[in-house]
């Protein structure tokens, strides 16, 4: 039986205009400045009296900013927003596995250390 | 004329996305390694805290945030530049393709240069792969990332030479799109590494 085939169509998903890329670039730059600014006011030389109030939110905020930047690059620069959903699947599925690996190993190590401390 | 595929998608693009998917898991193991060893070094130098050795030698916190922030900003801009180069290639604008691709390569070379400076500075300060857990996991993670950036720079330089010779017409822009996807991936990995290694204490 002959395999079902489809001709390759490069024009199916048009990519954004240069102005969209520039706006995304500006947002990425601002978010990076925010990350470093957040570090400076929490732990850097410019850390003031509010530093201790920010500290509990520092890591979640940084991870949120980082995730937003990651998503912007993937959606707009890597064209996942316009391209075939198959590409998104090929990228997102390993990303989920990657997140599970990171969280799993951290939990395992934390448990191991707690177990070792308790004797 | 393009050949038909079972998915209707170009096989080369599917291949680079599959490769990127596998790279996600590769870097996940390196990031996990860094995170599980974070704060467990028995001797300095440390990333964020000063340290005095038993012999009385004083070490400052070793990470240099301002320099790495500049490298990070340039790597982010390089992602913008490469996507503008791709846009130029797809429109058939050789001037835009060569110019933006050249800017991307410049940013990539700056980033690699920044890492070479950082590594040599760390070694001079007494931090090597063998010094402590931080050194081992830091050099492994950022070293593999730097290797990826270097490979990306070499790939982009070959495409830049082809573009100068007029050998990347719009019909062949996928050759650049594949390199651009790899370059963006290297960028998103750094988006994760930068806060995890340099900002989170």
Mutation target for B interface from A64, A78, A81: give the one with most B CBs within 10 A: A78
What value does the mean pLDDT of chain A take?
87
Structure tokens at A9: 């169509």
pLDDT at A49: 80
Domain membership of residue B147 as a residue range:
11-199
Residue to mutate among A17, A37, A73, with most B CBs inside 10 A, is A73
Residue B3 lies in a domain: no
Given a contact cutoff of 8 angstroms between Cβ atoms, the answer to whether B32 and A102 are in contact is yes
- CA distances (Å), A27 to each of A20, A68, A71, B114, in order? 11, 10, 12, 24
pLDDT at A12: 45
More confident residue, A86 or A7: A86
Which ranges of A11-84 does DSSP label H, i.e. alpha helix? 18-42, 51-72
B contact residues 9-28, partner A, Cβ 8 Å cutoff:
9-10, 13-14, 17-18, 20-22, 24-25, 27-28
More confident residue, A4 or A108: A108
The contacts of residue B191 (CB under 8 Å, 6+ apart) are A66, A69, A70, A73, B76
CA distance B187 to A89: 20
Residue B25 maps to which CATH number?
Answer: 1.20.120.80
Torsions phi, psi of A105, nearest 5? -65, -35
Number of domains present in the structure of chain B: 1
The CB-side HSE value for B196 (13 A sphere, CA atoms) comes to: 25
Percentage of chain A with pLDDT > 70?
A: 87
Q: Is residue B148 part of a domain?
A: yes
B96-155: pLDDT as tens digits: 999 999 999 999 999 999 999 999 999 999 899 999 999 999 999 999 999 999 999 999
Residue B177 covered by a domain:
yes
Instruction: Tell me the pLDDT band of A11, cut-offs 50, 70 and 90.
Output: very low
CB A95 within 8 A of CB B24: yes
Q: Distance between CA A71 and CA A51 in Å, rounded?
A: 28
Candidates A74, A37, A80; CA nearest to B187 is A74
With CB atoms and an 8 Å threshold, state whether B195 touches A58: no
The tokens for B91 are 């429109």
In a domain, B2, yes or no: no
Q: Do A21 and B84 count as a contact with CB atoms less than 8 A apart?
A: yes
Contact between chains at A39 and B199 (C-beta distance less than 8 A): yes
Residue-wise pLDDT tens digits, B13-63: 999 999 999 999 999 999 999 999 998 888 888 888 888 888 888 888 889
Checking if the pLDDT of A87 tops 60, the result is yes
A11 within 8 A of A48, measured Cβ to Cβ: no
Residue A95, pLDDT above cutoff 80: yes
Q: Alpha-carbon dihedral of residues B120, B121, B126, B127, nearest 10 degrees? A: -70
Which pLDDT score, from 0 to 100, does residue A92 have? 95
pTM, to two decimals: 0.91
Residue A100 — pLDDT band, cuts 50, 70, 90? very high
Is the predicted pLDDT of residue B1 greater than 60, yes or no? no
Q: Rounded CA gap, B153 and B157, in Å?
A: 6
Tokens 């905020």, located at residue: A61
Residues 50-109 of A with CB under 8 A from B: 58-59, 62-63, 65-66, 69-70, 73-74, 76-78, 84, 86-87, 90-91, 93-95, 97-99, 101-102, 105-106, 109
For residue A45, the model assigns a pLDDT of 79
Is B140 a domain residue?
yes
How many angstroms separate the Cα of A29 from the Cα of each of A22, A42, A69, B85, B199? 10, 20, 9, 19, 16
In a domain, B4, yes or no: no
The tokens for A44 are 């850097």
The neighbour count for residue A103, using CB atoms within 10 Å, is: 13
Q: pLDDT, tens digit, for every residue of A12-28?
A: 456 778 899 999 999 99
């Amino acid at each position: 039986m002959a395999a079902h085939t489809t001709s390759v169509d490069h024009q199916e998903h048009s990519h954004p205009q240069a102005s969209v890329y520039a706006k995304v670039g500006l947002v990425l730059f601002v978010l990076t400045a925010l990350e470093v600014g957040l570090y400076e006011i929490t732990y850097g030389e410019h850390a003031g009296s509010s530093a201790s109030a920010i500290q509990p939110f520092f890591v979640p905020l940084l991870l949120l900013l980082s995730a937003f930047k990651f998503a912007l690059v993937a959606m707009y620069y890597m064209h996942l927003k316009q391209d075939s959903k198959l590409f998104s699947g090929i990228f997102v599925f390993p990303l989920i596995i990657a997140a599970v690996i990171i969280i799993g190993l951290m939990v395992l190590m934390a448990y191991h250390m707690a177990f070792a401390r308790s004797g | 004329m393009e050949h038909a595929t079972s998915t209707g998608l170009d096989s080369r693009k599917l291949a680079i996305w599959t490769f990127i998917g596998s790279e996600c898991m590769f870097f996940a193991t390196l990031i996990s390694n860094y995170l599980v060893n974070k704060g467990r070094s028995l001797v300095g130098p440390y990333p964020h805290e000063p340290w005095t050795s038993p012999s009385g030698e004083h070490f400052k916190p070793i990470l240099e945030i301002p320099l790495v922030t500049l490298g990070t900003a340039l790597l982010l801009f390089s992602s913008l530049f490469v996507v503008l180069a791709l846009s130029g290639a797809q429109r058939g604008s050789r001037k835009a393709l060569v110019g933006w691709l050249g800017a991307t390569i410049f940013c990539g070379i700056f980033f690699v240069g920044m890492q070479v400076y950082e590594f040599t500075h760390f070694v001079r300060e007494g931090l090597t792969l063998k010094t402590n857990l931080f050194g081992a996991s830091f050099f492994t993670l950022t070293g593999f990332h730097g290797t990826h950036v270097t490979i990306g720079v070499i790939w982009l330089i070959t495409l830049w030479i082809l573009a100068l010779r007029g050998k990347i017409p719009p019909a062949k822009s996928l050759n650049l799109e594949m390199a651009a996807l790899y370059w963006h991936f290297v960028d998103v990995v750094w988006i994760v590494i930068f806060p995890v290694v340099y900002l989170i204490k």
